[in-house]
Chain A
Amino acid sequence: DAKTTQPPSMDCAEGRAANLPCNHSTISGNEYVYWYRQIHSQGPQYIIHGLKNNETNEMASLIITEDRKSSTLILPHATLRDTAVYYCIVRSINDYKLSFGAGTTVTVRA
Chain B
Amino acid sequence: EAEVAQSPRYKITEKSQAVAFWCDPISGHATLYWYRQILGQGPELLVQFQDESVVDDSQLPKDRFSAERLKGVDSTLKIQPAELGDSAMYLCASSPGDATNEKLFFGSGTQLSVL
On A, residues with C-beta under 8 Å from B are 36, 41-46, 49, 85, 87, 91, 93-94, 96-103
User: How many residues in B have their beta carbons less than 8 Å from beta carbons of A?
Assistant: 26
Q: By DSSP majority rule, is chain A's interface helix, strand, loop, or mixed?
A: loop
- Whether A46 and B109, one on each chain, are in contact in the complex, defined by CB atoms closer than 8 angstroms, is no
- Whether A96 and B43, one on each chain, are in contact in the complex, defined by CB atoms closer than 8 angstroms, is no
Q: How far is the CA of A42 from the CA of B97 in the complex (A)?
A: 23
Provide the residues of chain A in CB contact with B48, threshold 8 Å: 96-97
Q: How far is the CA of A93 from the CA of B31 in the complex (A)?
A: 15
Task: Looking at the assembled complex, report how far the CB atom of B4 sits from the nearest CB atom of chain A, in whole angstroms.
Answer: 8
Task: Looking at the assembled complex, report how far the CB atom of B26 sits from the nearest CB atom of chain A, in whole angstroms.
Answer: 12
> Given A43-B91, A44-B43, A96–B99 Cβ distance below 8 Å?
yes
Task: Looking at the assembled complex, report how far the CB atom of B2 sits from the nearest CB atom of chain A, in whole angstroms.
Answer: 14
- Whether B42 and A102, one on each chain, are in contact in the complex, defined by CB atoms closer than 8 angstroms, is yes
- Whether B102 and A96, one on each chain, are in contact in the complex, defined by CB atoms closer than 8 angstroms, is yes
What are 11 contact pairs spanning A and B, CB under 8 A?
A42-B109, A43-B91, A44-B43, A44-B93, A44-B104, A49-B103, A85-B42, A87-B42, A96-B95, A100-B35, A102-B42
Provide the residues of chain A in CB contact with B43, threshold 8 Å: 44, 100
Closest Cβ neighbor of A46 among chain B residues: B103
> Given A96-B31, A96-B95, A96-B99, A44–B44 Cβ distance below 8 Å?
no
Provide the residues of chain B in CB contact with A103, threshold 8 Å: 42
Q: How far is the CA of A97 from the CA of B35 in the complex (A)?
A: 10
> Given A43-B91, A87-B42, A97–B33 Cβ distance below 8 Å?
yes
Provide the residues of chain B in CB contact with A99, threshold 8 Å: 45
> Given A43-B109, A45-B106, A46-B105, A93–B44 Cβ distance below 8 Å?
no
- Whether B41 and A42, one on each chain, are in contact in the complex, defined by CB atoms closer than 8 angstroms, is no
- Whether A43 and B107, one on each chain, are in contact in the complex, defined by CB atoms closer than 8 angstroms, is yes
Provide the residues of chain A in CB contact with B106, threshold 8 Å: 43-45
Provide the residues of chain A in CB contact with B35, threshold 8 Å: 100
Q: How far is the CA of A85 from the CA of B44 in the complex (A)?
A: 15
**Interface flags, B80-115, vs A, CB<8A=1, else 0:** 000000000001010101011011111111010000
Question: Other than the known A44-B93, A96-B95, A103-B42, what 6 A-B pairs have Cβ atoms closer than 8 Å?
Answer: A42-B109, A43-B107, A43-B108, A46-B103, A46-B105, A49-B103
